[in-house]
Every structure is written in C-alpha cells, then in structure tokens.
C-alpha cells in the first residue's frame, strides 16, 4: 500500500492526530508507564524518526517542526536521565556533559524552522 501525504482539508484534519500519536509514542519511550525500565529508547528513536519524516514531508507545517524540536531536545538528555542503577536523575542533578549535543543542535534548528513556518513562538 503506497504512502501518500493527504492534501487540503484531509491533511488538516489528520495532521493533529498523527502528531499526537507520534508524541505519545515518544512519551512512552521517555517515561515508560509499564515495565522495570524508566526509558524505552527504541520507542523514542521510532518517534524521532517519524517526526523527522513528517517535517521533511510537510516543510511548510510549523507544527511538524515544533514536534521534531521538542522530541530532539528531550531526547538529547536521555543518557543523563538515569543513574547507574536505572533510577531517575532530576534535571537539576543531570550531568550536562552527557547530553547529546547533536540532538540538541537538531532540536534548535527544528525550532527555528517551526518559528519560520509560523508554528511556534
């Protein structure tokens, strides 16, 4: 089955739901609601891939870039969010040297694209 980007009213009607689902996938990976692990990195990576793809498919939609920005910036802290035993580490206590600078740069660039497209302020 081919993948097609909807146009016009169909696209507007579907985009919000698609972005919500991608956000929920990321959240489940970022703070798992079940299981022994706080993080489920595979889900975060899948959501990031989907958000990046949506932004590429719809470059004029600020919301797609805004979501990509949020996920990239949040994902940049993944390595610092847990301690050696898997326990959560509060933001104020995180070792910022462990933050992923590439993901942070990608997130800030996506934020700039969102602002340029009119989807964030």
Mean pLDDT, rounded, of the chain: 91
The 10 Å Cβ neighbour count of residue 72 is: 23
Give residue 111's pLDDT.
97
pTM of the model as a whole:
0.87
Check whether 121 has a pLDDT greater than 60: no
Cα 52 to Cα 8, 37, 46, 56, 64, distances in angstroms: 21, 26, 10, 6, 8
Give residue 120's pLDDT.
56
Please answer whether residues 41 and 48 qualify as being in contact, where contact means their C-beta atoms are separated by less than 8 angstroms: no
Q: Quote the tokens at residue 3.
A: 């993948």
Model pLDDT for residues 64-117, shown as the tens digit of each residue: 999 999 999 999 999 999 999 888 999 999 999 999 999 999 999 999 999 999
Query: Could you tell me the residue ranges of all domains in the chain?
Result: 13-119
Q: Which residues in 36-69 are b (16+ Cβ under 10 Å) and which e? A: eeebbeebbeebbebbbebbeebeebbbbbbbbb
């Amino acid at each position: 089955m081919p993948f097609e980007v909807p146009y016009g009213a169909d696209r507007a009607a579907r985009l919000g739901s698609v972005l919500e689902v991608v956000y929920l996938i990321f959240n489940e990976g970022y703070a798992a609601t079940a299981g022994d692990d706080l993080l489920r990195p595979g889900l975060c990576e899948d959501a990031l891939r989907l958000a990046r793809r949506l932004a590429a498919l719809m470059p004029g939609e600020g919301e797609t870039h805004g979501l990509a920005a949020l996920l990239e910036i949040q994902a940049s802290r993944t390595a610092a969010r847990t301690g050696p035993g898997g326990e959560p580490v509060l933001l104020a206590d995180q070792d910022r040297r462990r933050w992923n600078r590439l993901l942070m740069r990608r997130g800030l660039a996506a934020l700039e694209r969102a602002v340029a497209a009119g989807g964030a302020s």
